Structure 1
Amino acid sequence: MREDDHVYLSLAQEQDDSRWAFGTGFQDPLHGVDTTVPDGVDPAGLAALCLGLGDDALIASQRLAEWCTRAPELEEEVALANIGLDLLGQARMLLTRVGQVDGTGRTEDDLAYQRETEEFRNVRLVELPNGDFAFSMARLLVFSAHRLAVFERLAAGHPDPVLRAVAAKGVKELTYHRQYAAEWVVRLGDGTDESHRRMQEGLDTIAPYVDELLRATPSGQDVRDEVGAVLAQVAEAATLTVPEFERMDGEGRAGVHTPCLAPLLFEMQSVARALPGARW
């Protein structure tokens, strides 16, 4: 296949190894950045924004880690593990920023391991069990398309220099995440009858949770339109139908979660709670 024939080329950006959280080319995006909250920025509002985005990334990374030893091929296990590490890196920086600005002095570990289920502010889409591979690719496509659109705007104009720096690094990572997911959605959707059925079923299953994601950050109609355009382009290439995203009651940002989150947190937090203060 010629490079200019690639169905996803118009959505992808030139990448290098710096897209990986801890791969070659990694540089600390906060090196030399002033962590003082700028004048005119509400610390509580900044903390809430970072907490929601941080929790989204933390829980999404845990679900991606569950694909290790279970993905269709070894190459996909490596790819999904690296995407999970990217999101974990974003979560660490965002949760650290929360502790810096909310007046509590909590660390990233405090926020990850010592909060109860109702204190988490992630959207419910990321906490759903993985299901089959098609479901996970549908979720990753929608999640990364939205997060990329949000991070591009944060990197370009948010008044907090720390959040701008985190978002700028995240843009490189999320561009790859979106590309990876879109390629799989097209491959499965335009594949066999069975893969097409599963891919459409994956999109239909996540549909009730997408509106909450689109409303989860103060990003406006332009982000919703951008995400819709991405999904429409990928769905057309994949011979799929984008379902309607109807509004559901309850929101993860308000601490209202599905029954799926508590078991995930129990597993994630068990060692830290069993051995408080331990260091490796």
Structure 2
Amino acid sequence: MTDRRRSSCDGDPPGSAGTRQDVRHAVFARSFGAQAARYDRTRPSYPAAALDLVLASGTHRRILDIGAGTGKLTAALLGRGAEVVAVDPDPQMLAVLAARLPQVRPVAGAAERIPLRDGVIDAIVAGQAFHWFRRPDAEHELARVLRPGGVLGLFWNLPDRGVEWVRALYWATGKPELPWSEQFDQLDGALFTELEQASVRSEHLLPGPDGLRELVHTWSWVSTRSKAEQDAIDDRIRILTTQYAELQAPTVALPLRTQVLWQHRR
């Protein structure tokens, strides 16, 4: 099911300079390389319907996946452009991407420093990544490499908190508040057109309760905890799985809401 609407999202981007949250945010952002193999094995892909909202119109000669990680979104882009370029600052994540997607050009770089020429990209996408970018530096750099009229699409796979056991899972991990990725301000109106937004529902199938626990360990606020804290989270999840029949099956279906936001380069 797709819920499409045009709107702006309330809330400030995470990590104001000089704050304790900024330091914590930086630690979380650097935590994924050590989890690269597990991340690639357990994180969900992105539904085609979500990509269609951003990429179905127009011809995309060259698509950039910024903050590509291990290529979860990159893989879904194949066939949607003549060339797909994947940029990420973490060499461990890029190494996994290069091994699984040899047809993609991996490039070391960051959203704030993209090693590409001006206006050479027709479409830019970021999956589960934009909340790690430093603004306004990143949006100015994204605008620089994107041709006029090109599209920037941002994607987040968010577990559906409308489901009781999903809410309980977040509490078990010590993350009861909304994730940073649900906080977003529109991009610079001098550079990009008005924000459009949609939500696409899907499921991510995991190999039983062990697969669910493994996925949880790729969440930054879990992977950066001490071993004792992670063990305590595992214990709470084991208790949780005894309370819901759907978490005891050989395959656990995690309900997702893929949030899609897109704007065009002026």
Confirm or deny a common fold (TM above 0.5).
no
Pick the structure with more strand per residue: 2
Pick the structure with more helix per residue: 1
TM-score, length basis structure 2: 0.29
TM-score, length basis structure 1: 0.28
